[in-house]
Structure 1
């Protein structure tokens, strides 16, 4: 953030400018979620990738804003689907303004993203970001299909997180390489970097849902458990558990029959079977994979910053 503060400031100004509308409720809802902060890691990746590739223009700023608009739109929609009351430690937009306003303002932000993409003028950038938008939606629907199903495989789980989370990380870094005019192999290296980083990010998030405190997590701890989401910590604890323990998971996640003590028991079973530790370990492997993909790029502050971002994604679990 310190290295790219000027570009990020320009990106933030563009975000604030483009979320304005004569329809007063739109900037109100958009400002609520945008002002809630977040680390802006996705637009930061676009800017860092472009700078890593030696780009010195300003197209990357608009595309970074596009990436953040797509991300913010999905957050608004996700909170409605998940019936979430908190987002980044504050009341979620749907809790404040209602489901209808959240869905419609999410649609507005998606539309704004495409307006900025079209203004950029690159069909390749438009293809990358529109493909990512479709993949995100597919990932969310796939998660809906696997929810409450303890027969979900690790491969299916990975497909969910590659779609709903990692696809936008991959697109964010790839468009940075595209605006810099990098050859196809370097574009692919940065796309793969983003994909590995995104998977690591979601693995850590899924572990934190069972192990963080509410203030650190920015949402209610145990939301995934209450919603019956099948994440890697659940899959590992289920696979390693006794038949009696598996019956617990089926009752709580498939039947949604949960009592006050069940979240604590779920966490105890995960601890017993090393599920959280191994999920973080898996995230570390993906982060290391991401860092290795930076090897062909010249050494410098941007490369070190991207490697540090990969480390940060995992270290926030400590």
Structure 2
């Protein structure tokens, strides 16, 4: 059977939302939240205070919801996926805490970051605590396959973050390397969150591979959109300041494409900006104009739609129903954030 690539419709009416996904997993998500609150507790009061600052900060909880929705897609009737969804959220939260320290961020989801309030040392250590909690949950599940998938995802995320750090301020970074970085630091956890549902539901390798492909392609699309809207959105929409990537010297795909298409004069500008020699508000405004005139943002979003279509195509392995529809709309929502 030949797979069909499904088009993404960013301007469809009504706008895509996460509501179908939220509705689908609402009951299961209550159990996940209960587990999260229980496992973030500690007699060391700073740990739940700092972890709670981020966990209660208004995040979409998309990754654990994907675990729950994929389990629903497979008609799984057990409860193992509750702890594993909490595990996925702990991994994600730990990486956010560490990221904010590395990036020196002051704003996340529209609120002050934990490192700004509690300091870098405490933030790093609480991130380590959450990673440790996630591994406790993996071990409690008892599946070596689940442990392999999630532990591999954790180490790959760390590799991706280090690779991104070494690529910072390197204007000659290639598109292939950029895709390797976002596949590691973002897409691998999306993939693992979906894949483990097939393991707990005791499905075959083909089903596991289909869910892994769905999550991985959704994760790449999600990060591509994030990197595009860093230059064209605002703090209210994004929950962080516009141009954060620019000021931090992150060479994301919009910059890679704009640099490739630039005149020699504009390439000099990009080299100065990415190196940190000229990355103020005036330079940011010029960067935004160059990104628009070179269609670098448009083409980044086109690539996001491509990966989104691949994610939807991976769902062709499964029967139609509320779970498949909700997962499809989740992909469309991830793309529509840019419009």
Please indicate, yes or no, whether the TM-score normalized by the shorter chain is above 0.5.
yes
1:61-210 map, 5 Å: 61-210=82-231
Is the Cα–Cα contact under 8 Å of residues 247 and 276 in structure 2 kept in the other structure?
Answer: no
Q: Give the TM-score normalised by the residue count of structure 1.
A: 0.99
Q: Which residue of 1 aligns with 2:282?
A: 261
Q: Which residue of 2 aligns with 1:5?
A: 26
**Please, which of 265, 281, 287 is the counterpart of residue 244 of structure 1?**
265
How far apart in 1 are the matches of 2:44 and 2:247? 36
**Please, which of 220, 224, 229 is the counterpart of residue 250 of structure 2?**
229
Q: Which residue of 2 aligns with 1:309?
A: 330
Question: Structure 1: where are the runs of 5+ without partners?
Answer: none
Structure 1 residue 9, shift from structure 2 partner: 1.2
Is the Cα–Cα contact under 8 Å of residues 40 and 51 in structure 2 kept in the other structure?
Answer: yes
How far apart in 2 are the matches of 1:296 and 1:171? 18
**Please, which of 285, 288, 304 is the counterpart of residue 306 of structure 2?**
285
Structure 1 residue 255, shift from structure 2 partner: 4.2
Structure 1 residue 11, shift from structure 2 partner: 0.6
Query: RMSD value over aligned CA atoms?
Result: 0.7
What secondary structure sits across from 1:287 in the alignment?
A: helix
The question of 1:30 aligning with 2:46 is answered no
What secondary structure sits across from 2:177 in the alignment?
A: helix
What secondary structure sits across from 2:49 in the alignment?
A: helix
Larger relative contact order (CA 8 Å, sep ≥ 6): 2
**Please, which of 185, 190, 214 is the counterpart of residue 235 of structure 2?**
214
What secondary structure sits across from 2:23 in the alignment?
A: coil
What secondary structure sits across from 2:202 in the alignment?
A: coil
Q: Which residue of 1 aligns with 2:315?
A: 294
Question: Structure 2: where are the runs of 5+ without partners?
Answer: 1-21
Is the Cα–Cα contact under 8 Å of residues 63 and 89 in structure 2 kept in the other structure?
Answer: yes
**Please, which of 33, 43, 54 is the counterpart of residue 75 of structure 2?**
54
How far apart in 1 are the matches of 2:231 and 2:286? 11
Report Cα offsets for 1:80-101 as digits up to 9, x if no partner: 0000000110000000100011
Structure 1 residue 298, shift from structure 2 partner: 1.2
When structure 1 is superposed on structure 2, of 67-76 and 213-222 the one drifting more is 213-222
